[in-house]
Amino acid sequence: MTRIHDAIEAVYSVIRTMSVLDVVDIALLAYIIFCFVKLIRETRAGQLFKGIAFLLVIYLIAKAGELKAMIYLLERLFSIGLLAILIVFQPEVRRAVEKLGHTRFGLQTLRLMGTPSDELTAKWKTAINAVCDACVELSNTTTGALIVIEMQTRLGEQIENGTVINATPSVPLFGAIFYPKNPLHDGAVIIRDGMVLAAACFLPKPQKEEQINKALGSRHRAAIGMSENSDAIVIVVSEETGQISVAENGVLTRNYTHGKLHELLCERLIPEQPDSILPFRPFRKAQRKEGHDDQ
């Protein structure tokens, strides 16, 4: 009872001496922890942290029971544990940090003041029209296509493994690239700043490939994987059904028409009037859509 009473007294004394800044400090820390847990809960790292939490409970029990051998072993384990986690789970840690940069708060914090370029806006309008028209034509001929529109996350790794083109988007260009006998058709086209920068680019696999509908082909899987690893908008045309799909933030939505695709791309890529004081770069965070792949 004495220990409980002392603990209550200690908590009360801490609360009594807290200032407004202390409350803000605690609230901010709690929010950061919440965001961190949200980022890792569906990854391999999430399972690891469940194990670490279990070990912490064992450590507290050992501390209370003064189990010296157990305390010594756990303390040695914790001392090297952080470094081991960073090494083993480097891909998950990188994705988590990248996702923080994709949030609306992160993008607004990093955005610099400037004036939107009318030339660049015109490039995006041309690119949007070309992409939509090309997707409809490719859909009508059931020609498979995979088009990645770069947003805030630079896709240098994917561009390096492809073929640099740096051409103005057009329906004939997309038709030529994705023509089945063209050596560049087997891969993705990457668009940056309204220009077709590279073709035949290979994209990362999705994090949980085994959970994706088995009926989906390699293009759809690559689209989901790319959208999980970046904030890119990935457009897929099925070579089996001609169906047009879009992947954003790991979510695949399907059955796009010319009008629906055009509306989506304009919303994501062309800034609204209130944003005109900010530099033109596609920065809106794609909204997660319901109906994750009836894939």
User: Residue 179: CB partners within 8 Å, gap ≥ 6?
Assistant: 143, 185
Whether the CB-CB separation of 128 and 262 falls below 8 Å is answered with yes
Q: Is 132 exposed, middle or buried (0-12, 13-18, 19+ CB in 10 A)?
A: buried
The pLDDT of residue 169 is above 70:
yes
The structural domains of the chain, with segments of one domain joined by +, span 2-110, 118-275
Whether the CB-CB separation of 222 and 146 falls below 8 Å is answered with yes
pLDDT at 107: 42
> How confident is residue 173, by pLDDT bands cut at 50, 70 and 90?
very high
DSSP per-residue string spanning 181-219: TSTTSSSEEEEETTEEEEEEE--PPPTTGGGS-TT--HH
Helix (H) or strand (E) holding 279: none
What residue has token string 């759809």? 220
pLDDT at 76: 78
Q: Which CATH architecture has domain 118-275?
A: 3-Layer(aba) Sandwich (3.40)
Whether the CB-CB separation of 282 and 141 falls below 8 Å is answered with no
The pLDDT of residue 32 is above 50:
yes
pLDDT in tens, 250-293: 889 999 999 999 999 999 988 765 444 444 444 444 444 434 44
Helices (H), the chain: 2-16, 20-40, 44-64, 68-88, 90-102, 104-110, 118-140, 156-160, 171-177, 218-229, 258-269
pLDDT in tens, 179-213: 999 989 889 999 999 999 999 999 988 876 666 77
> How confident is residue 94, by pLDDT bands cut at 50, 70 and 90?
low
pLDDT at 281: 47
Angle at 289 between CA 199 and CA 162, to 5 degrees: 10
The pLDDT of residue 106 is above 50:
no
Task: Report how far Cα 128 is from the mean position of its chain's Cα atoms.
Answer: 22
> How confident is residue 135, by pLDDT bands cut at 50, 70 and 90?
very high
